[in-house]
Each structure stands twice: as C-alpha cells, then as structure tokens.
Amino acid sequence: MKTKITEMFGIEHPIIQGGMHFVGYAEMAAAVSNAGGLGIITGLTQRSPADLANEISRCKKMTSKPIGVNLTFLPTVTTPDYPGYIQAIIDGGVKVVETAGNNPAQWLPMLHDAGIKVIHKCTSVRHSLKAQSIGCDAVSVDGFECAGHPGEDDIPNFILLPRAADELKIPFVASGGMADGRSLVAALALGADGVNMGTRFMATKEAPIHENVKQAILKATELDMTLVMRPLRNTERVLKNAAVERVMAKEKELGSKITFADIAEDVVGVYPKIMLEGQMDAGAWSCGLVAGLIHDIPTCQELVDRIMNEANGIIRERLARFAG
C-alpha cells in the first residue's frame, strides 16, 4: 500500500509505532520496522545522548529498515541536552524524527540540514497548521481517543481528521483509536495517509515491557480508562488503578486549588516501576480507549500483516461492493 507517508519515510506499510516512555526501546522499534512499518525509539527514555547513540546502534543491528526517534520537548526543571540528543540521531543515521510537546522550530534546521524528515504530534488543527508553517514534513494528528495527552479541545478523530484534511497541505497520520485494518481504512477515508499506534503495539510479544502491563491492556475495555490532571490543563488518559483513584480523589478534594505537587508522587517517575517491574498500582500510566479493541498479544509481524490483509480486504470487497 503506497501513500505519501510510505513514500516519505521509505516504509512498506503506512503504520507508525509512536514514541512511548519506557516502551520505545530498540527491540520494539526493530520489530515494527522489520514488519514493514516505522518503529520509533523514545529518545528521552535514554538518560543521555550517549545512551541514545547506543540504543540506535543496537536497533540498527536488529533491522536494516528505516527507524525513527521520538523527541519530546517539554518544560522541565532540568532541560535535557537536546542538541546532544539530536547529534546522536544524526550520527546514528536516523532519517525520521517524531517530535512532540513544545514547538520544535528551533531544532528543525539542525534536523533538516542532516536530511531528516520531521513528523510532529498535534492534538488540534491549529497546532497542525503551525507545525506545517514552521516546516515540519508531516504531522501525527492525535484525536481525543488517544492515550497520554489528548490536549484540551476534546475533538475525536471522526471530526479532527477530515478537518485536518481540509486544512493541511502536508501529509498526516491518524493517532488515537488505531488498532486494526478497520482503523487504517477509516483513517485513509477521512484523509490521513497512515496510522500511528501506541497502545496496540504495547500488546505485542516483542514489546519490552512487563507481562502484567500487557495483560492489563488485554483485560481492559473502553470503559476502564479515565482522564486525570484536567484541572491543571495537562489532561492525560490513563488506565484506572489505585494510583489513579488517589489522583482523582485529590482533584475532587482540592478542586481549582490543586497543584502538580499535590499529585506528583503518583505521576512522576512511575514508569520504570510499571513498565519494567510490573507494579501496576505504582502510578498513573497512559492507555488509550483502543484497549477495548485489543484481544490478543501477537508478534509485530503478525499484527502488521493482519492489519494490512484486513484493510485490503475491506477496500477490495466490502467498499468495492458498495461502490458497485
């Protein structure tokens, strides 16, 4: 299946594995890329540029196909060495970077000078247009269904994707609620040139996370997620657990007076305990509504093949029948 995204990134299928904290390691990225999609290493999961360089090198030993790196630009107490991370990406021969968070404008010249394509994650049309205006090559449009931070507009993909298609000149992929061939065909019909999947790729054999996390996703339905940090305008979609209940209780108790410090113990630095050690109540962790569509733990190759076979079948049979 050829789209503007497959041609831009040199991949076989229009399927991207988005950056995920303490999930996007070399094993994950290589498995997705070997399956014909675009695997992405999560840059800031690596503690330093040198660690990222090592992770890119590890990944390149596992696949000869294109890979990407995610770089999230967020205000922090200690700003990461972004120039160092970018240099590690350049030196590693990576040709695709997924940016997220704050405006990446200041880093684009360094990336583009190295021949790197940049796809920026956006939760609104206005942010997508801004990404286009500063020179991003593509955008990942994140609908309200997504895991993690869906923005504050609450616009689901059935509206957001065609709005993006109406406004954008650069290609974009759909993110949030993407799980199978139906998702891919729907995204293409609404104007996207591919899909970005996070939660679905967590429930694969190669995902380098604890089995407890995979089983939690498998058992969850679309009713088991909730939104936290809305009063702080830093909304995050997470799977309900004991830590999330504590956060929600604090939000209810403190209302508009709540501060980030009030909930920090349940949202800061919790991912290693959850993703690597399987302590499922150690903190709040991102999970998309798409968990309701996840019923097995295949290999990445099995998953991608299934998605493409299903998508092609829908296009050639079901939709063609309606057109006839």
Q: Which domain CATH number covers 308? A: 3.20.20.70
Kindly state whether residue 65 falls inside one of the protein's structural domains: yes
Q: Read off the tokens for 116.
A: 């790197």
137 with 274, same domain? Answer: no
* One domain, residues 266 and 130: no
Mean pLDDT of 291-314: 98
Residues 55 and 184 in one domain: yes
The pLDDT value recorded for residue 53 is 98
Q: 140-157 burial by CB neighbour count: b if 16+ within 10 A, else e?
A: bbbbbbbbbbbbeeebeb
Per-residue pLDDT of 199-224, as tens digits, reads 999 999 999 999 999 999 999 999 99
Q: What is the pLDDT of residue 76?
A: 73
Residue 215 lies in a domain: no
Please say if the pLDDT value at position 324 is more than 80: no
Q: How far apart are CA 192 and CA 103, in angstroms?
A: 22
Residue 304's pLDDT band (boundaries 50, 70, 90)? very high
Per-residue pLDDT at 97: 98
Q: Under a CB-based contact definition with an 8 Å cutoff, are residues 63 and 34 in contact? A: yes
Give the number of domains in the chain: 2
Q: Do 66 and 187 reside in the same domain of the chain?
A: yes
The residue segments making up the domain with residue 244 are: 221-286
Neighbours of 76 (CB within 10 A): 8
Q: At residue 77, does pLDDT exceed 80?
A: no
pLDDT at 294: 98
12 shares its domain with 133: yes
Burial of residue 64 (number of CB atoms within 10 Å: 0-12, 13-18, 19+): exposed
**Angle formed at CA 157 by CA 153 and CA 160, multiple of 5 degrees:** 60
pLDDT exceeds 80 at position 75? no
The answer on 237 and 122 residing in a single domain is no
Report if residue 53 sits inside a domain: yes
Residue 97 DSSP SS3: strand
118 and 199 share a domain? Answer: yes
Residues 57 and 168 in one domain: yes
Q: What percent of the chain has pLDDT over 70?
A: 100
pTM of the model: 0.96
Same domain, 32 and 171: yes
How does residue 323 score in pLDDT terms, banded at 50, 70 and 90? confident
What pairing do the DSSP bridges indicate for beta strands 117-122 and 96-101? Answer: parallel
Is there a domain that residue 153 lies in?
yes
Task: Say how far apart CA 244 and CA 265 lie, in whole Å.
Answer: 11
| pLDDT for the residue numbered 78 | 82
Q: What is the pLDDT of residue 178?
A: 98
Q: How high is the pLDDT of residue 224?
A: 98
Residues 282 and 304 in one domain: no
What pLDDT, in 10s, does the model give residues 152-192?
999 999 999 999 999 999 999 999 999 999 999 999 999 99
- Looking at the fold, whether 192 and 231 belong to one and the same domain comes out as no
- Residue 43: pLDDT band with limits 50, 70, 90: very high
Q: Which pLDDT does position 11 carry in this prediction?
A: 98
Average pLDDT, the chain: 97
Query: Distance (Å, rounded) from C-alpha 172 to C-alpha 316?
Result: 23
pLDDT for the residue 188: 98
161 lies in some domain: yes
In this structure, are 16 and 101 located in the same domain?
yes
Domain membership of residue 138 (yes or no) is yes
Give the whole-angstrom CA distance, residue 221 versus residue 219: 7
Structure token digits, residue 21: 């904290």
> What is the pLDDT, as a whole number, of residue 94?
98
Summarised one tens digit per residue, pLDDT across range 87-116 is 999 999 999 999 999 999 999 999 999 999
Strand, helix or coil for residue 158: helix
Please give the Cα distance from 232 to 284 (Å, whole number): 15
